[in-house]
Structure 1
Amino acid sequence: MADRSLRGIRLGAQSLQSEEGVVFEERTEHLYRCAECGRDTKLMFAHDAEAPATWECRTCGSEAVRRVGDTTVEVDRSSEKAARSHWDMLLERRTIPELDELLEERLALLRSRRGGHGGDADRLSA
């Protein structure tokens, strides 16, 4: 067993590969500034890659905007859709008078199931 062990090497601590013959890609440095904490972050991208307009701030997690010279890049938010609530989607399908009519039908159904006793359903409609 001793003849098969690797003696004198730290496995995982050192790489046996060298950088000989490796050609590195051209890189470009971009600066991002966070509006919340004011921190600047420098990031390296490949020279031919398109750098994003925003990046997450490493300090506070807010949105940092890319700077070119002394100005910030304009962020295009036209493709972002506003979140719609259930109520918004309901109003796309029904009008308020239709909803009032449906509510009255459902309340009448509940009242008939309870035997017409003026219970909780009567207090809700009042």
Structure 2
Amino acid sequence: MAGGNAIRGTRVGAGPMGEAERGEAAPRNRMSYWCSQGHETQVAFATDAEVPDLWDCPRCGLPAGQDEQAPPPAPRTEPYKTHLAYVRERRSDADGDALLEEALAKLRARRGA
């Protein structure tokens, strides 16, 4: 059983500090941001701070804007491409066939020699 001391681990004068002890809070502006899923995020900025146009939604991770009626669209994610897909983007089928024939000719020449 516990020692029965209700204030164990505290020290004299360790109470909640009020605004008088901490000083006044800096003036702030609260801005609302909305994502394409309809989530609203309120962020407090100092009055002299530059307010960003976009903010990441903490609930879904999508970008959020200040216009509730027209939130920014979700970013388009590119599907994973293999090395072969990148090669096919750079070369036509005719170029690929020519390279294949060249490689096969070198291989046949090595095996025949």
SS at match of 1:64: strand
Q: Deviations over 1:24-51 (max 9, x none)?
A: 3221111101112x12111101111112
Q: Give the whole-Å Cα distance in 2 for the aligned partners of 1:40 and 1:58.
A: 10
Q: Give the whole-Å Cα distance in 1 for the aligned partners of 2:110 and 2:55.
A: 58
Structure 1 pair 108–17 and aligned structure 2 pair: CA distance change class (3 A): farther
SS at match of 1:43: strand
Residue in 1 aligned with 2:61? Answer: 61
Of residues 106, 112, 121, the one that matches 2:103 is: 106
Question: Scaled by the length of structure 1, what TM-score is found?
Answer: 0.48
Q: Which amino acid in structure 1 is aligned with residue 27 of structure 2?
A: E
Q: Which runs of 5+ in 2 are unaligned?
A: 1-6
Identity %: 34
Residue in 2 aligned with 1:34? Answer: 35
RMSD (CA atoms): 4.0
Q: Which amino acid in structure 2 is aligned with residue 48 of structure 1?
A: D
SS at match of 2:66: strand
Q: Give the whole-Å Cα distance in 1 for the aligned partners of 2:106 and 2:70.
A: 61
Q: Which has the higher contact order (CA 8 A, sep 6+)?
A: 2
How many residues are paired up? 93
Structure 1 pair 18–64 and aligned structure 2 pair: CA distance change class (3 A): same
Q: Which runs of 5+ in 1 are unaligned?
A: 1-6, 76-81, 116-126
